[in-house]
């Protein structure tokens, strides 16, 4: 399936040509047929050469430019119609300008109503057309003379159109389908039906989709394309989708149907400015932005003096990616004043930063947007599927541009900054606390605003630093908390009262010393109580011997055996249960599988 949009001034014969080529009148409404004036977009299908073609016929009247834009917003081939009787007209000019702003590079020109003029007038129309197209992207498009009523030139139109279809690249399947909805209705017995031109990916029956803006969910119940029921439809097709789970009144023209998890939905984007010939975009103010099949009143601002970068603030978040194009119109002047190409879907607040970011290469822009990037970040920020995002990440890592950090990547530049900053902080810590083994990973993580797991990976290959038991230290530093005055005092106090241990607060010892002693294995935390490691080992031996000799021990027996209170006995009992030294039976303890081994080692 290939999709072609018409373009041209009102009453130049667009609908008549589509009817002649397809046998289907694209004008759907009685008032269109009665007045001979296309008001809204219409659709027709035909076989051209080896191609199944869907035509999107657009209105040519200035009052209905928004409907014209809804029809061409998702296509990449156009057929511009100019009547020999009138030649180049204002809406011909605006439609061609719109095709350029949307970067539609493939198509042809048809001069219609050729039988209504003499040869001299026809020649003048051709010369005028060539003159107007000379400095446009359409200058090299094939021109065919035809008349829809008599059939003159229709075979040549089909032949040349077949050539255009063969030369134009097919729609890309990037695995991230998006359909801008251009029509919504309720079909009897089927429910909600939406139509549009599918781009960037395929859809299948039972796919779960999101309707943006708003993130509303639906399921694809049925698919139809070119009057055929399908299980799957590929990008580049005109398609009708029967949706389950959403009412037709909740979907509107301009909404986008996308696959979940693949799209950023920004309400503001920074863009490259495209000014239309003979027009000038205002420095700031409100404009009408046409995106896909939708029309939105947006707040517009030019960011730089060179007028190359702008910002568009949308009323709602839309599924957009770098490279998407917008057409900008002035509602007051009723004119197309320019366009824009999306560059940054996550723009910064500061203007200077925004300008700098928009000048970056795409890979560098990624790391300007996020210091740490996951695959999902790359998918949304660059407009890729997950396979391509993973490949991009691998290329960046292989090129030394990025460093893997757990399930994410950082720029190599950012990693270098982190390593240098950590080394400075750790050396300063050693100077202030020479007897402490190292700086806690969690403290460093908070200070550097980096996830602890990612920080540990980033520092792994740093020759000047060592990560040891959740501590970061200089490779030349070996300080131990147990060798400090406070550390020794704490351990001695614990050993003096092994089963009625004092707390660090009672001894006025800092918690960091306590945590360091735990990491060294000198003391242990048991259910919120700190014991010396020696005390726990002694309790293990005493209780093992007693439980084997007596068969069962109550908690009170263990309490008395240790000469302590239930407050301190229970943490030890629970620990020995976890180790398998004891096993609980009711309220008592019996010997566990490790009790004998513990006793044997006495």
Residue ranges of domains in the chain: 2-167, 178-258, 268-359, 360-479, 492-600
Q: Residue 407: how many CB atoms within 10 A of its CB? A: 12
- Cβ pair 146, 153 in contact under 8 A: yes
pLDDT for the residue numbered 320: 96
Q: Which of 251, 223, 255 is nearest to 237 (CA)?
A: 223
Strands 582-585 and 529-532: unpaired
Torsion of CA 397, 403, 405, 408, to 10 degrees: -50
Query: What confidence score (pLDDT) does residue 464 get?
Result: 80
Q: What pLDDT is recorded for position 533?
A: 93
- The reported pLDDT for the residue numbered 33 is 58
Structure tokens at 227: 């009057």
Q: What angle do CA 54, 58, 62 make, to 5 degrees?
A: 170
Q: Please tell me the predicted confidence (pLDDT) of residue 35.
A: 61
Q: What is the pTM of this model?
A: 0.76
Whole-number pLDDT of residue 76: 87
pLDDT, tens only, 28-59: 666 655 566 566 788 889 999 888 898 888 87
Pick out the chain residues at pLDDT < 70.
27-39, 60-64, 435, 477-479, 597-602
Q: 2-167 and 360-479: same fold?
A: no
The sign of the torsion formed by the CA atoms of 354, 359, 362, 365 equals: negative
Round to whole Å and give the CA distance between 547 and 551.
Answer: 5
Q: What is the pLDDT of residue 187?
A: 81
In contact, 394 and 375? CB cutoff 8 Å = no
Q: CATH top-level class for 2-167? A: alpha beta
Question: Could you read off the pLDDT of 207-216 as tens digits, one per residue?
Answer: 999 999 999 9
SS3 526: strand
Burial class (CB in 10 A: 0-12, 13-18, 19+), 166: exposed
Question: 268-359 adopts what CATH topology?
Answer: Elongation Factor Tu (Ef-tu); domain 3 (2.40.30)
d(CA 3, CA 194): 17
Q: What is the 3-state secondary structure (H, E, C) of 205-244?
A: CCCEEEEECCCEEEEEEEEEECCEEECEECCCCEEEEEEE
Domain 492-600 CATH (choose: 3.40.50.2000, 3.40.50.300, 1.10.10.10, 3.40.50.700): 1.10.10.10
- Determine the pLDDT at residue 439: 84
The domain 178-258 is placed in CATH, from the list 1.10.10.10, 2.40.170.20, 3.60.20.10, 2.40.30.10, at 2.40.30.10
Q: CA of 412: how far to CAs of 201, 354, 497, 566, in Å? A: 33, 22, 52, 55
Task: With CA atoms as reference, report the closest residue to 267 among 306, 214, 308, 211.
Answer: 214
The architecture that CATH gives domain 360-479 is Orthogonal Bundle (1.10)
Q: What pLDDT shows up at residue 600?
A: 55
């Amino acid at each position: 399936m290939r999709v072609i949009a018409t373009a041209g001034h009102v009453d130049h014969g667009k609908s008549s040509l589509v009817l002649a080529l397809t046998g289907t009148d694209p004008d759907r409404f009685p008032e269109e047929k009665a007045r001979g004036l296309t008001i809204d977009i219409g659709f027709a299908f035909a076989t051209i050469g080896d191609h199944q073609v869907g035509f999107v016929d657009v209105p040519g009247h200035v009052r209905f430019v928004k409907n014209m834009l809804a029809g061409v917003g998702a296509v990449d081939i156009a057929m511009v119609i100019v009547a020999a009787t009138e030649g180049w007209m204002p809406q011909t000019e605006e439609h061609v300008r719109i095709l350029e702003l949307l970067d539609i590079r493939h198509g042809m020109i048809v001069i219609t109503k050729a039988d209504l003029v003499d040869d001299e007038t026809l020649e003048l129309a051709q010369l005028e057309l060539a003159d107007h197209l000379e400095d446009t992207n359409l200058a090299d498009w094939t021109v065919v003379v035809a008349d829809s009523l008599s059939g003159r030139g229709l075979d040549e139109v089909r032949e040349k159109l077949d050539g255009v279809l063969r030369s134009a690249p097919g729609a890309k399947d990037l695995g991230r389908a998006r359909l801008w909805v251009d029509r919504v209705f309720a079909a009897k017995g089927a429910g909600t039906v939406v139509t549009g031109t599918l781009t960037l990916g395929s859809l299948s029956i039972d796919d779960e989709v999101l309707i943006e803006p708003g993130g509303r969910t639906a399921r694809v119940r049925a698919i139809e394309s070119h009057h055929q029921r399908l299980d799957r439809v590929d990008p580049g097709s005109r398609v009708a989708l029967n949706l389950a789970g959403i009412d037709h009144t909740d979907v509107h023209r301009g909404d986008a149907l996308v696959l979940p998890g693949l799209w950023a939905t920004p309400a503001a984007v920074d863009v490259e400015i495209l000014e239309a010939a003979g027009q000038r975009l205002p420095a700031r103010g409100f404009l009408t932005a046409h995106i896909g099949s939708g029309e939105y009143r947006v707040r517009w601002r030019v960011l730089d003096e060179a007028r190359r970068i702008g910002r568009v603030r949308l009323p709602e978040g839309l599924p957009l990616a770098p490279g998407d194009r917008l057409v900008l119109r002035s509602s007051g002047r009723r004119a197309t004043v320019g366009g824009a190409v999306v560059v940054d879907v996550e723009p910064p607040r500061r203007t200077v930063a925004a300008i700098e970011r928009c000048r970056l290469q795409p890979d560098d822009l990624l790391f300007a947007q996020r210091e740490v990037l996951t695959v999902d970040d790359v998918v949304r920020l660059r407009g890729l599927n997950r396979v391509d995002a993973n490949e991009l990440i691998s290329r960046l890592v292989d090129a030394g541009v990025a460093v893997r950090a757990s399930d994410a990547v950082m720029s190599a530049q950012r990693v270098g900054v982190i390593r240098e900053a950590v080394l400075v902080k750790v050396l300063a810590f050693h100077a202030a606390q020479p007897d402490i083994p190292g700086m806690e990973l969690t403290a460093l993580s908070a200070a550097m605003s980096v996830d602890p797991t990612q920080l540990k990976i980033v520092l792994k290959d740093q020759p000047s630093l060592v990560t040891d038991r959740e501590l970061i230290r200089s490779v030349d530093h070996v300080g131990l908390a147990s060798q400090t005055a406070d550390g020794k005092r704490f351990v001695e106090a614990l050993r003096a009262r092994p089963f009625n241990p004092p707390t660090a607060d009672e001894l006025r010892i800092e918690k960091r010393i306590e945590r360091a002693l735990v990491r060294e294995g000198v003391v242990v935390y048991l259910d919120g109580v700190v014991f010396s490691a020696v005390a726990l080992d002694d309790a293990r031996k005493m209780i093992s011997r007693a439980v084997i000799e007596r068969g069962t021990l109550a908690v009170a027996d263990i309490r008395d055996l240790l000469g302590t209170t239930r407050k301190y006995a229970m943490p030890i009992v629970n620990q020995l249960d976890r180790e398998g030294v004891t096993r609980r039976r009711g309220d008592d303890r019996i010997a566990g599988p490790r009790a004998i081994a513990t006793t044997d080692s006495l």
